Structure 1
Amino acid sequence: MSIVTTASKIDRLAQLTARTETASGTSLWREAMRRMRSSKMAIIGAVIIAGFVLLAIVGPWVAPYGPAEQTWRGEVFSNRGEFVGARAENWFGLDHLGRDMFSRMLVGARQTLLVGVVSMLIGLLIGAVVGIVSGAAATLGGKAGRRIDDAIMRVTDILLALPSLLLAVSVAAVLGQSLTTVMIAVGVVQIPVFARLLRGSMLAQGNSDYVLAARSLGIRKRRIVLTQILPNSLSPVIVQATLSLATAIIEAAALSYLGLGNPDPAVPEWGVMLSAAQRFFDNEPMMSMYPAVGIIITALGFTLLGEAMREALDPKLRG
Structure 2
Amino acid sequence: MKRKPLGAVSAALLVVLVLTAISADVLAPYDPLATQPEIRLSAPSRAHPFGTDDIGRDVLSRIIYGSRISLWVGLLAVGIGTAAGMVIGLLCGYCEGRLDLIVQRVMDAIQAIPGLVLALAIVSVLKPSTTNAMLAIAIVIIPGNSRIVRGAVLSAKQNRYVEAAQALGCRHPRIITTHILPNVTAPILVIASIWLGNAILIEATLSFLGVGTQPPTPSWGLMLSSTGRAFMEQAPWLAIFPGLAISLAVLGFNLFGDTLRDAWDPKLRRQG
Instruction: Tell me which stretches of 4 or more aligned residues in structure 1 moved more than 6 Å.
Output: none
Q: Of 9, 22, 43, which residue of structure 2 is paired with 1:85?
A: 43
Whole-Å separation in 1 of the counterparts to 2:133 and 2:231: 24
Give the equivalent residue in structure 2 for 1:304. Answer: 255
Q: Of 205, 228, 250, which residue of structure 1 is paired with 2:179?
A: 228
Matched, 1:75 2:39: yes
Check 1:53–1:37 CA distance in 2 against 1; reply closer, same or farther (3 A cut).
Answer: farther
Q: Which whole-Å deviations, capped at 9, do the CAs of 1:232-280 have from their partners, x for residues lacking one?
A: 22110011110010000000100000000122x2211111111112111
Whole-Å separation in 2 of the counterparts to 1:228 and 1:296: 39
Give the equivalent residue in structure 2 for 1:149. Answer: 100
Equivalent positions of 1:46-195 (< 5 A) are: 46-70=11-35, 72-76=36-40, 83-138=41-96, 146-195=97-146
Give the equivalent residue in structure 1 for 2:160. Answer: 209
Q: Of 229, 237, 244, which residue of structure 2 is paired with 1:293?
A: 244
Give the equivalent residue in structure 1 for 2:213. Answer: 262
Whole-Å separation in 2 of the counterparts to 1:113 and 1:37: 28
Q: Of 215, 226, 237, which residue of structure 2 is paired with 1:276?
A: 226
Aligned residues of 2:81 and 2:142 also touching (Cα < 8 A): yes
Whole-Å separation in 2 of the counterparts to 1:275 and 1:86: 20
- The code of the aligned residue for 1:54 comes to L
212-221 vs 160-169, greater mean Cα deviation = 212-221
- The code of the aligned residue for 1:133 comes to L
Give the equivalent residue in structure 1 for 2:8. Answer: 43
Aligned residues of 2:18 and 2:71 also touching (Cα < 8 A): yes
Aligned residues of 2:20 and 2:27 also touching (Cα < 8 A): no
Give the equivalent residue in structure 2 for 1:11. Answer: none
Q: Which whole-Å deviations, capped at 9, do the CAs of 1:180-204 have from their partners, x for residues lacking one?
A: 1110111110011111111111111
- The code of the aligned residue for 1:42 comes to G
Listed as ranges, the gaps of 5+ residues in structure 1 are 1-35, 77-82, 139-145
- Could you tell me how far 1:106 is from its partner in structure 2? 1.2
- The code of the aligned residue for 2:57 comes to R
SS of the aligned residue for 2:23 comes to helix
TM-score of the superposed pair, with normalisation by structure 2: 0.95
Aligned residues of 1:67 and 1:266 also touching (Cα < 8 A): no
SS of the aligned residue for 1:182 comes to helix
Aligned residues of 2:85 and 2:143 also touching (Cα < 8 A): yes
TM-score of the superposed pair, with normalisation by structure 1: 0.81
Residues paired across the two proteins, number? 269
- The code of the aligned residue for 1:284 comes to A
- The code of the aligned residue for 1:271 comes to G
Listed as ranges, the gaps of 5+ residues in structure 2 are none
Higher relative contact order (CA 8 A, sep 6+): 1
Give the equivalent residue in structure 1 for 2:189. Answer: 238
Whole-Å separation in 2 of the counterparts to 1:232 and 1:37: 29
Whole-Å separation in 2 of the counterparts to 1:87 and 1:222: 61
- Could you tell me how far 1:220 is from its partner in structure 2? 2.1
- The code of the aligned residue for 2:85 comes to G
- The code of the aligned residue for 2:221 comes to G
Whole-Å separation in 2 of the counterparts to 1:112 and 1:37: 30
Give the equivalent residue in structure 2 for 1:23. Answer: none
- Could you tell me how far 1:37 is from its partner in structure 2? 7.3
- Could you tell me how far 1:212 is from its partner in structure 2? 1.4
Whole-Å separation in 2 of the counterparts to 1:89 and 1:222: 60
- The code of the aligned residue for 2:65 comes to V
Aligned residues of 1:42 and 1:308 also touching (Cα < 8 A): yes
